[in-house]
A and B are shown apart, each in its own frame.
Chain A
Amino acid sequence: MKRFAVTALAGALSAGMLFASPNAAAAQSKAPPGGAYQQVSKLVPLPDFLPGLGTLYVDPATLPAGPFLAYDHQGKLVSSIYMIPLSDLNSHKAFDNLKIAKEKVDHVDMVFNAGHPGVAVPHYHIIVWYVSPTEAAKLAK
């Protein structure tokens, strides 16, 4: 059943790509993304730069799923991240029309996270990368 939920989530993410606004996408390619997005470290006690992910921005109205927009040290958009609590997956909750940046997707990671301020429950990070694994690895520090 979990596999079904993840499949449904992947479908929702694909649907979300269709609704991305070109203007909004262009504005999001460099930090800060503007609009309703706020730097995550200003909202909750987290470091400005999260090793492995980058500097995160989110529209608080979309929590906990996001997307969180992640930027590298140079302020370049590197990924969109969705944070989905395990409890939501287990209850088969649907996530429709999740936004996404209009960038070419390189690959996707799905990584379990035990929790952190802002999403203080076990959840999955679904990371839609716009850079190669090699570039992503440079975010380790």
Chain B
Amino acid sequence: MTVHSRREFLKVGGLTLVGLGFVPGRRWPAAAVEVIEMRSDAAGSRVWFDPIGLRVEPGTIVRWVVRENVHTTTAYHPRNDHHPLRIPEQAMPWDSGYLVNPGDHFQVMLTEPGVYDYYCKPHEAAGMVGRIIVGKPLGPGAQPFDYWTGRAGTEGWHRVPQVARKAFPSIARILTEGRVHVAGPAN
């Protein structure tokens, strides 16, 4: 277990707490916790978040856990390598950094209502993305992928790859099912 292998991140309202390393005895505020697994087949040919779509209430802690391969969970936000803004404007973007070993995890408390789209850095081009709806489907993440085209201040933003666009579950499906799974080899 390395310092980076158990990186934890907690956002509470406008306050951001970052902890590096596992701290015995650390207590998170009482809140619901939802787990999203970061998966891969043995060859690294198929990679996915499970569930890929999730609906939660504001104040829920979402925890990503590596099961296989090396992954990140990274919010679609201009601060993250000029990716387009696809989380609520008032929300703090996150980037887990590389989670290298099985069991490594990263978590964030989502308090701002809206749609949160995120991706895995080494696997975005392979379509490894996910979507969380906190409360209601609001904000930039509820807009079409290219909603920002032509707007001032968006110069240099990268477009979401086509393979990733196709991978996102629809907002309607997430609202209906609550949790959306992909048909991975292990399912």
A23 smallest CB distance to B (angstroms): 34
Q: Is A46 an interface residue (CB 8 A)?
A: yes
For window 41-62 of chain A, which residues contact chain B by CB distance below 8 Å? 45-47, 51-52
Q: Is B6 an interface residue (CB 8 A)?
A: no
Show 14 A/B contacts (Cβ-Cβ < 8 Å), sorted by A: A45-B4, A45-B100, A52-B42, A113-B44, A114-B46, A114-B47, A114-B128, A115-B125, A116-B44, A117-B70, A117-B98, A120-B122, A121-B125, A140-B42
Q: Which residue of A lies closest to B125 (CB)?
A: A121
B interface, CB within 8 angstroms of A:
4, 40, 42-47, 69-70, 97-98, 100-101, 121-123, 125-126, 128
B160 smallest CB distance to A (angstroms): 15
**Contact partner, B126, options A47, A51, A52, A115, Cβ 8 Å:** A115
A interface, CB within 8 angstroms of B:
45-47, 51-52, 111-117, 120-122, 140
Given the known interface contacts A45-B70, A46-B70, the answer about A113 and B45 at a Cβ–Cβ threshold of 8 Å is yes
A43 smallest CB distance to B (angstroms): 12
Q: Which residues of B contact A122 (CB under 8 A)?
A: 125-126
CB pair A117–B45 under 8 Å, yes or no, is: no
Q: How far is the CA of A47 from the CA of B40 in the complex (A)?
A: 15
**Contact partner, A115, options B4, B42, B43, B123, Cβ 8 Å:** B123
